[in-house]
Homo-oligomer: A and B are copies of this chain.
Amino acid sequence: MEQLEPVRVAVDVLGGDEPAQVVLDGIADALAKDPALTVLAVGPAALVEPFAAAHERAEALVAEDAIEMGDDPIRAVMTKRKSSVVVGCRAVKRGQAAGLFSAGSTGALVAAGTAYITPFKVQTDEGTRPLRPCITSPIPNRAGGFTVFCDMGGSPDVEPADLVRFAQMGAAYARTVLGVASPRVGLLSNGTEEHKGSAFTKACYPLLAEALPGFAGNCEGGDITSGAFDVVVCDGFTGNVALKATEGAAKFLMGEIKDALMGSLAGKVAALLVGRSLRSVRDRLSGDAHGGAMLLGLRGVLLIGHGATSVEAVSNGTRATAAAIRGGLVAKVAEAVPEIVS
């Protein structure tokens, strides 16, 4: 049997819309499946202390406060210093854990990850400044594989040089997590021809061509799921819109297909038989296949799970965080961006 490297992962017990017990059950499942995993359960003492006492390789890190979905993310991160999100990110910063998994608010996790785990610094013409982190997730594609999509909403307004770094980080993710030796990187645009694009993407194009050996030119919205590219890169505004449009189309189609099937007896039988596959298709389109979305560019692993979580999703997310740590993802992302200075 393969010898697993021991790793410590922090898990936010209060993240997600489900009761904390769902998260605790997910952690227990991950611990049972990974004998070299230690989990730092971050949450209220009344929850995490009995859990740590009852489970081998589980430790408690007390955080009595929670960031709610309705909170303004940046303000909440600044003021709720005892929230599970902030305490979890600070544990990664201090080295108590090499990564955090949370199904909490994406906005709060991006803000807390940026403030506490902190991004690498890059050298620019105007001096050094923090790298803009990007949200990345592998999206299943029609070729039967996955396409790394970034930025899915971490940084809505960026410079062309930031987008080049997103592409470099996305390519590092594709190599490390998906095992793609030479990722083909597409620039998301409104047409595949080189002259297509907005003023912003036209400024990005030559920089990508110069900086990325795997740059394969412009691609279109359909290429997020076509399988023609290993990495599709865009700014965080466009990425968020495209991802939500994709999820919305999936929801619409699932509803229509359900209606179409329910109109006949054979359809009803088929719906029962294939219901599980259909739901799995939908979940995979939401980026759940690899435990959630990763905030790349930080000095530690931060994996953001879907708010509507389950025992299985928490177990997957916790183990995906461990896998990213074991794969050395943070160091490989840093190596991929030549301007990183510290």
- Chain A residues in the interface with B (C-beta under 8 A): 72, 107, 140-142, 153, 156-157, 188-191, 195, 197-199, 201, 220-226, 234-238, 240-257, 259-261, 263-264, 266-267, 269-271, 273-274, 277-278, 281, 285
Interface pair A237/B267, CB less than 8 Å apart = no
Q: Is A243's CB under 8 angstroms from B221's CB?
A: yes
Please determine whether A281 and B253 come into contact, CB atoms closer than 8 angstroms: yes
Known: A256-B277, A264-B270. 6 other contacts (CB 8 A): A142-B255, A156-B190, A157-B198, A221-B247, A249-B285, A257-B278
- The copy count of this chain in the complex is 2
A241 near B240: Cβ-Cβ < 8 Å: no
Q: A142-B252, A278-B260 are in contact. Are A199 and B245 (CB under 8 A)?
A: no
A261: chain B residues within 8 A (beta carbon): 270, 274
Q: Are A273 and B267 in contact (CB under 8 A)?
A: yes
Contacts of A285 in B (CB 8 A): 249, 252-253
**CB–CB A226/B248 < 8 A:** yes
Name the CB-closest residue of B to A246.
B249
Give Cα A238–Cα B256 distance, bound, in whole angstroms.
26
Chain B contacts for A264, CB-based, 8 A: 270, 273-274
Contacts of A245 in B (CB 8 A): 221-222, 224-225, 242-243, 245-246, 249
Q: Which residues of B contact A156 (CB under 8 A)?
A: 190, 197-198
Within the assembled complex, what's the spacing in Å between the Cα atoms of A250 and B252?
A: 9
A270-B270, A274-B263 are contacts. A221–B199 as well, Cβ < 8 Å? no
**In contact, A190 and B277 (Cβ under 8 angstroms):** no
Query: Which of A189, A236, A256 has most B Cβ within 10 Å?
Result: A256
Smallest CB-CB A-B distances: 9 pairs: A221-B244, A222-B248, A270-B270, A221-B245, A190-B240, A260-B277, A266-B269, A249-B249, A260-B274
| Contact indicator B236/A221 (Cβ below 8 Å) | no
Nearest B residue to A152, CB-CB: B190
Asked, given contacts A241-B242, A285-B253, whether A224 binds B236 with beta carbons under 8 Å apart, the answer is no
Q: Could you tell me the distance in whole angstroms from the C-beta of A84 to the nearest C-beta in chain B?
A: 22
Distance (Å) between the CB of A284 and the closest chain B CB? 9
Q: Which residues of B contact A247 (CB under 8 A)?
A: 221-222, 249
- CB neighbours of A72 from chain B (8 A): 195
Contacts of A259 in B (CB 8 A): 277
Residues of B within 8 A of A198 (CB): 156-157, 235, 237
